[in-house]
């Protein structure tokens, strides 16, 4: 006689609406898996290894020389998340992804930007702590005092700027500009684009010592040294001994907060010759402060990693320019694919 079948307990079914709501909520919460896997693959050099062709787990384990089981879990998760694919026991990535993360010489390469996002990610995971404490959630190994975060940020901003700088050089009229001051120049990419497009312009790049060292090295590699001066110093206190036809302030104000921004713009007014112009570039918020997407996320990053920084709207920036004494202040929109735009004002004669 066959064994008697065990009675299956009756289970009250969960409504489809409950399951749908749970799935939608968890989908948002679980997006960090995508980032964690992508960061790990990049840091371990997996994309660089795959740029020469498909690799087995043994191949990749030999390169990383790390724990095989953890590496396999990361690779398999990457396949599940459709970051990688696997065929006949070997892993591969799309050509587009390898151009962006596996081939440092590619024009599409954004590896430095990945390093920057990875660096700020722990701070973003501590946002609730930042609200309660009023302090940025900067990770202990990325204290502002040791320069690590600044170096990572400068290199990441250079990647972004190399792509977007040509539009600034093309959209703004520099025909009457002979001397340009790039205040808070970072890697110098915007000045490089301007002097390359406009032979009449020579530029003075001013920033803190570590950023100036990076800018000087990049400029030397591009053969631009003869038309550039480099000054290491504080933008608010450094004595330059002369005035300029134009001052460029690119992606700086959001690091300073409102009071610091207004002070810097007054300083820029002093540094311009009569009739000179200021160009303030940034990723400006709309008036509702919830768009555009990147400008809003940048504001969040600033609250996570700085004590004073916050992003601001174009209207706020224009008001600060007028307060500092600039006339004809206006907003210049860039292409839809470019998160940057500019505020332009002139110093009266």
Torsion of CA 52, 53, 56, 59, to 10 degrees: -20
Using an 8 Å Cβ cutoff, are 146 and 152 in contact? no
Q: Is 105 helix (H, G, I), strand (E, B) or coil?
A: coil
The CB density around residue 144, as the number of other CB atoms within 10 Å, is 13
Cα–Cα distances in angstroms (integers) from residue 333 to residues 108, 115, 337, in the given order: 24, 29, 11
The CB density around residue 261, as the number of other CB atoms within 10 Å, is 25
Measured over the CA atoms of residue 75, residue 79, residue 82 and residue 88, the dihedral's sign is positive
Q: Give the residues of the chain that fall short of pLDDT 50.
A: 140-144
Q: Do the strands 341-347 and 326-332 form a parallel or antiparallel pair, or are they unpaired?
A: antiparallel
Task: Output the pLDDT for position 141.
Answer: 46
Using an 8 Å Cβ cutoff, are 211 and 187 in contact? yes
Task: Output the pLDDT for position 5.
Answer: 67
3-state secondary structure 146-193: HCHHHHHHHHHHHHHHHHHHHHHHHHCCCCCCCEEEEECCCCCHHHHH
Q: What is the tens place of the pLDDT at every residue in 262-312?
A: 999 999 999 999 999 999 999 999 999 999 999 999 999 999 988 899 999
- List, as one string, the DSSP characters of 207-271: E-HHHHHHHHHHHHHTT-GGGEEEEES-TTT---SS-EEEEEEES-HHHHHHHHHHHHHHHHHHH
Which residues on neighbouring strands pair with residue 341, listed in sequence order? 282
Task: Output the pLDDT for position 277.
Answer: 97
Task: Output the pLDDT for position 1.
Answer: 61
Using an 8 Å Cβ cutoff, are 269 and 326 in contact? yes
CA 336 to chain centre: 17
Q: Which fold has domain 32-105?
A: Arc Repressor Mutant, subunit A (1.10.10)
Cα distance between residue 109 and residue 120, in whole Å: 20
Task: Output the pLDDT for position 144.
Answer: 46
Task: Output the pLDDT for position 146.
Answer: 54
Measuring CA to CA, which residue among 108, 229, 248 is closest to residue 185?
248
- Burial pattern 57-85, b for ≥16 Cβ within 10 A else e, equals beebbeebeeeeeebeebbebbeeeebbe
Q: E-assigned strands of 264-340?
A: 272-282, 326-332
Same fold across 32-105 and 164-347: no
Which residues on neighbouring strands pair with residue 248, listed in sequence order? 182, 279
Task: Give the domain ranges of the chain.
Answer: 32-105, 164-347
> So what CATH class is 164-347?
alpha beta
127 membership: H or E segment, kind and range: helix 127-133
């Amino acid at each position: 006689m066959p064994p008697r079948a065990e009675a299956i307990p009756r289970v009250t079914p969960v409504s489809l609406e409950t399951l749908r709501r749970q799935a939608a909520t968890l989908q948002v919460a679980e997006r960090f898996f995508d980032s964690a896997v992508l960061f790990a693959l990049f840091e371990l050099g997996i994309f660089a290894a795959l740029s020469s062709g498909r690799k087995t787990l043994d191949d990749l384990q030999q390169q990383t020389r790390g724990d095989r089981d953890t590496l396999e879990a990361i690779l398999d998760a990457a396949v599940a998340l459709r970051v990688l694919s696997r065929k006949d026991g070997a892993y591969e990535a799309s050509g587009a992804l390898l151009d962006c993360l596996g081939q440092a010489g590619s024009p599409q390469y954004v590896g430095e930007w990945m390093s920057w996002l990875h660096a700020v990610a722990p701070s973003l995971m501590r946002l609730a702590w930042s609200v309660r404490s009023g302090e940025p959630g900067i990770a202990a190994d990325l204290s502002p005092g040791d320069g690590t975060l600044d170096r990572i940020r400068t290199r990441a901003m250079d990647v972004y700027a190399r792509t977007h700088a040509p539009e600034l050089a093309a959209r703004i009229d520099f025909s009457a500009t002979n001397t340009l001051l790039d205040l808070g120049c970072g890697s110098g990419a915007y000045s490089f684009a301007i002097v390359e497009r406009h032979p009449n312009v020579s530029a003075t790049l001013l920033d803190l010592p570590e950023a100036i060292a990076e800018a000087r090295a990049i400029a030397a590699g591009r053969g631009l040294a003869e038309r550039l001066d480099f000054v290491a110093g504080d933008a608010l206190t450094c004595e330059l001994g002369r005035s300029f036809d134009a001052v460029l302030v690119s992606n700086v104000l959001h690091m300073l907060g409102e009071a610091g921004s207004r002070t810097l713009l007054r300083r820029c007014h002093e540094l311009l010759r009569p009739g000179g112009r200021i160009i303030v570039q940034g990723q400006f918020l709309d008036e509702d402060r919830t768009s555009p997407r990147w400008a809003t996320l940048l504001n969040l990053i600033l609250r996570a990693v700085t004590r004073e920084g916050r992003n601001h709207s174009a209207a706020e920036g224009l008001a600060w320019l007028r307060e500092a004494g600039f006339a004809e202040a206006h907003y210049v929109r860039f292409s839809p694919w470019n998160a940057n735009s500019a505020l332009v004002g002139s110093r009266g004669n």
